[in-house]
Amino acid sequence: MKTPALLALEDGTTFRGWSFGAASERDGEVVFNTSMMGYTEILTDPSYRGQMVCMTYPLIGNYGITEEDFESRAIFLAGFIVKEQSRITSNWRSRKTLDEALKEYGVPGIEGIDTRKLVKLLRDKGAMKGVVSTTDLNAESLVEKAKQSPGLIGRDCVKEVTCAEEYEWNVPLPDMKPFPAKYHVVALDCGIKRNILKGLVSHGCRVTVVPATTSAERILELNPDGIFLSNGPGDPAALTYIVDEVKKLLGKKPIFGICLGHQILGQAFGGTTYKLKFGHHGGNQPVMRMDTRQVEITAQNHGFAVDINSIKDHPVEISHVHLNDQTLSGMSHKELPIFSVQYHPEAGPGPHDSRYLFARFVEMIESGKPVVGSATCCAGC
């Protein structure tokens, strides 16, 4: 027998559907993801901490769940919203169903709602705070709870997802023959995805992962050849303790930042960040490289961006621009070996157009110079 569930948004809109996953009540910012596949990786992306994700593709769960595809140690998002969860799991690698995985990690799901209506609403009004519940089915009550929920602005979610202690990572990408480990990279874990770590290893890096609270002194004590700043959840403006430590690292070692790492670098350079209307979430986001005018189709997951105008008076070059809304998608320091992008070159899930950035990082480590032009792509990229 199906259990009723209710999704309420802060603007007063409600959607009645059916529960799957954990029977509970959770709040979060409601966003949509346009990927047609890769729901396992989406569920386990720590960058979704504090958010409920609505999938635009109508049928989700048909190939089950296998933990080999996890991007982190757990399912971190607050809730999962789909048009229909598949009743059939057809995949020899599958170890459990979508429903079973959400129950295991205590995450509620809701199905049977008009996801097209929800996505159009979010596109028009922007991402909104919401609550999904199987216990409180009173629309008025749940809308009030959505209004009172904390949201993401000013919220530090990194401390909720970062690792507890340092560890080594040596697993490469499964579709790439890894280069011999030549350089030592320290990766600051703000909510890092495992495919990023695999990408670094596949390009010849020995990786030490450290918690987001690690000091600049400790990072330099590990004597890395390069430093990586990871993706992660929440409001980058709330992470002053990380920005302060990254400022101490500028000019000391080559640095590569992805997503939240890009936003942290933007602030360390003296720039500011702001919240996007509904964010960029999906595997089909067009980005232009400013040096070649080449367009890459990229995987993205972020709700904040670096203000492109706030870095114009600093020695920073705009390297990539998002073609849908002209927001900053990449930057390089003109004098120091530092660059970053506001998207996911490891693309789990998504296209592999941007894997060359890992090779670019290695080349920058080798030369110790700022990024100029395009990197030589390695075999298997």
Q: Could you tell me the domains of the chain? A: 4-148 (3.50.30.20), 158-367 (3.40.50.880)
**Taking 90 as the threshold, does the pLDDT of residue 178 lie above it?**
no
Q: What is the per-residue pLDDT across 237-294, written as a single tens digit (0 to 9) for each?
A: 999 999 999 999 999 999 999 999 999 999 999 999 999 999 999 999 999 999 999 9
Cis status, amide bond into 315, omega within 30 of 0: no
Nearest-angstrom CA–CA distance, 192 and 139: 37
Decide if 259 is catalytic: yes
- In this prediction, residue 380 has a pLDDT band, given cuts at 50, 70 and 90, of very low
Please provide the average confidence, as pLDDT, over all residues in the chain: 95
Determine which one of 203, 281, 302, 344 is catalytic: 344
Residue that the structure tokens 């490289």 belong to:
289
Query: Of 346, 363, 378, 381, which is the active-site residue?
Result: 346
pLDDT for the residue 179: 83
Q: Mean pLDDT across the stretch 369-374? A: 70
Query: Who's near 16: CB < 8 A, 6+ residues apart?
Result: 4, 5, 6, 7, 113, 137
Residue 228 has pLDDT above 60, yes or no: yes
For residue 54, give the nearest of 29, 26, 74, 73 by alpha carbon.
Answer: 29
Beta strands in the chain (DSSP E): 4-9, 14-21, 25-33, 51-55, 59-60, 79-81, 84-85, 108-111, 128-133, 167-169, 183-189, 205-211, 226-229, 255-258, 273-289, 295-306, 316-322, 328-333, 338-341
Q: Tell me the pLDDT tens digit for each residue of 346-364.
A: 998 889 999 999 999 999 9
pLDDT at res. 372: 64
What's the pLDDT at 175? 84
pLDDT of residue 281: 96
Band of residue 379 on the pLDDT scale cut at 50, 70, 90: very low
The one-letter amino acid at 149:
S
Does residue 377 surpass a pLDDT of 70?
no
Q: Can you say how many angstroms the Cα of residue 346 is from the centroid of all Cα atoms in its chain? A: 11
- The span from the CA of 358 to the CA of 82, in Å, is 34
Is there a catalytic annotation at residue 346? yes
Tokens of 378: 């390695």
Query: What does the alpha-carbon distance between residue 9 and residue 29 come to, in Å, rounded to a whole number?
Result: 9
**pLDDT, tens digit, for every residue of 40-65?**
999 999 999 999 999 999 999 999 99
For residue 72 the two structure tokens come to 């982190």
Name the percent of the chain in helix, strand, coil, to the closest 5.
25, 30, 45
User: How far is Cα 76 from Cα 94, in angstroms, rounded to an integer?
Assistant: 20
72 pLDDT exceeds 50?
Answer: yes
Residue 368's contacts (CB-CB under 8 Å, 6 or more residues apart) are: 254, 337
pLDDT score recorded for residue 371: 77
Question: Is residue 78's pLDDT more than 90?
Answer: yes
Taking residues 92-97, report their average pLDDT. Answer: 96
Task: Answer yes or no: 314 catalytic.
Answer: no
Among residues 54, 157, 205, 259, the one annotated as catalytic is: 259
